Amino acid sequence: MTFDDLKFAQRTRLEYLDRLFFWDGAATRASLIKRFDISNAQAALDFRTYLAKAPKDALQYDASSRQYLAHESFERLTGRASSLEFEQLLSGEPSAVFDRLPDLQRTQDMRVLRPLYRAFRAKQATKIVYQSMRDPEPMTRWIAPVRFASDGVRLHVRAWCFEREGFRDFHPARIDADRSFDETKAAEEVPRDDDWFTWAILKLKPHSRLTDAQQRVVRVEFGFTSDVLEVKTRKALAFYTERRWGLEQKEPRLERVCIDYVPMSEEEINAN
């Protein structure tokens, strides 16, 4: 159930109530008044509207504490909660109860991203000076950007490399902004990126070196619903998926059973 029939402001307040009942198990009109700086009359109206949409007996008014309490049978009206929502909830706490590890890989130069994006939109190739981790010195290359992807930490541009005659992933931070993008040309004869339009279905299981008890915990941690956990991604992104799931670590918790490659249907290609 959603609150799509309501105006945006009231819908936002009712979604906040929904989160309060789920996470805190209780809410009051004062909760709304403090958060949204609304009148007592408006808060009362919001509560009536929410209660009218909530299942019967899911909420009970406790006179001693003057608040509505969520019954054990309470279920959110706005869909399942997420860990991201939980992080946002913790971030709003007045004391330092939550923090994140610093990320050293998010810096991106707009002098690189903007011309890459424009070349992509114009279906053009552009000349770049690129420092790979395999070559000791920067190399000049012509590339035609065709896709963008994130591995959860860094942004990648997937492009046809005319020197290597193949699709490659380039880290924008490794492109020399001062010596790139001076020349562009039409990106002619760039083939279809079959790896982008092929599903990679990774089948994983708890690592065999783990004890039975440890394997049970891993199944809970990674949300196993059967003996094998299937992870579906693009073939072009399978490497990043395996790295993010820690399959290449020294002592991984998961191991790969197999990986199946399934070409997308034309309907999937058009939708993706």
- CATH code of the domain made up of 8-91: 1.10.10.10
- Alpha helix stretches (DSSP H) within the chain: 8-23, 29-36, 40-53, 83-91, 110-122, 212-221, 238-244, 266-271
Two domains, one topology: 8-91 and 110-186: no
Class of the CATH domain delimited by 110-186 = mainly beta
Res 98: pLDDT: 76
Task: Assess contact for 21 and 29: CB atoms under 8 A.
Answer: no
Those residues whose C-beta lies under 8 Å from the C-beta of residue 18, and which sit 6 or more positions away, are: 50, 76, 77, 78
Query: In the numeric block, which tokens belong to residue 26?
Result: 């209780």
What confidence tens digit (pLDDT) does each residue in 29-62 have? 999 999 899 999 999 999 999 999 888 889 999 9
How far, in Å, are 53, 152, 155, 172 from residue 249 at the CA level? 49, 17, 22, 26
Res 55: pLDDT: 86
What confidence tens digit (pLDDT) does each residue in 115-143 have? 999 999 999 999 999 999 888 999 999 99
- Residues of the chain under the 70 pLDDT cut: 1-2, 92-96, 102-107
> What ranges do the domains of the chain cover?
8-91, 110-186, 198-271
Cα–chain-centroid distance for residue 241? 13
- Which three-class secondary structure state does DSSP give residue 156? strand
